[in-house]
Amino acid sequence: MRSDPSILPFESRAVSPIVAAFMMIVSLCVTAAFAQPSASDETKAQSWIARAYLPDDETRLGEVRVSEIDGGLQIRTLLYSNLLKRIVAEIEVKCEEGWPDGSRYRSESRRYVGTLQAAREKVWTRWRDLSNRDRARSTQALIIDFVVTDDRAEIEVGVPKLSTGASERSVTGIERLGDEIYPSRFVHAEAVRILEDQFPARATELIAMLPTPDE
C-alpha cells in the first residue's frame, strides 16, 4: 500500500524556501525577544541600598530610593500618580512644619516648594493636553533627587521617562526642570528628614552616610 505523504513525519517532508525563510525569521525574533533585558531585570541591577513605597506598600503612589553615589547618597523620590497635586501639597505641609516663619531656611524652603509646584503644573498641563485615550493610559510622574556628597549638595527636580514591567518602574530618562541652588545645610537637613520619615528603622545608619555640610 502506498503511504499518504500528508501523514509523513515532519522531518521527511520537503520544506519550500519561502517556508524555511519564514521559520528562520520567527526563530530569530523569538531569540531576540528572550535576549532583551526586561524592565524587572533592569530594576534588579540597580544599586539601591534602601527603598520605601509612598504612602505604603499597598497604596503605591510613588517611592523613595536611596543609592550610594560619590561618597554620599542620592535620595530619589519618584512619584507616579494622577493625585500628584495632592502629593505635592503634602510635601508643602511638611516643609511648612519643618521651616516655619522666622526659621533659618524659610526662604529656601519656599523656593523649593515653588519649584515643585511649577514642575507639577507643567506635568499636569502636558497630561491634560493628551487625547482622551492617551490620558487614560498615562500617569503623571515627577522625580525629586537629593544628592549629598563631599562636593555636592543639590536638589534636582524633573520629569522622568518610565519603563514599566512586572509591576516595577525603571527610570530611562529625566527631563530636568529648573536649576535652583540651595545652601548645603538646607539640602542636608531635608535629606535627613526624608530618611527619618521613610526609613525610621534604618535612619541612623543611612544618615551616617551623609557627608557633613561645610557651611
**CB neighbourhood size of 83 (10 A):** 13
- Give yes or no for a contact between 60 and 54, defined as CB atoms under 8 angstroms apart: yes
Model pLDDT for residues 188-197, shown as the tens digit of each residue: 999 999 999 9
134-191 pLDDT tens trace: 999 899 999 999 999 999 999 999 999 998 876 688 999 999 987 789 999 999 999 9
Q: Write out the H or E segment, with its range, that includes residue 136.
A: helix 132-137
Check residue 150 and report its DSSP letter. Answer: S
Q: What is the reported pTM? A: 0.77
Q: Specify the residue for cell string 527619618.
A: 196
pLDDT tens for residues 76-107?
Answer: 999 999 999 999 999 999 999 999 999 999 99
Q: What are the DSSP calls for 46-77, one per residue?
A: S-EEEEEEEE-SSSEEEEEEEEEETTEEEEEE
Q: Are strands 153-165 and 72-80 parallel, antiparallel or unpaired?
A: unpaired
Q: Containing H/E element for 141?
A: strand 141-148
Q: To the nearest 10°, report the CA torsion of 190, 187, 59, 114.
A: 100
Domain spans of the chain, in order of start? 5-35, 40-207
DSSP 210: S
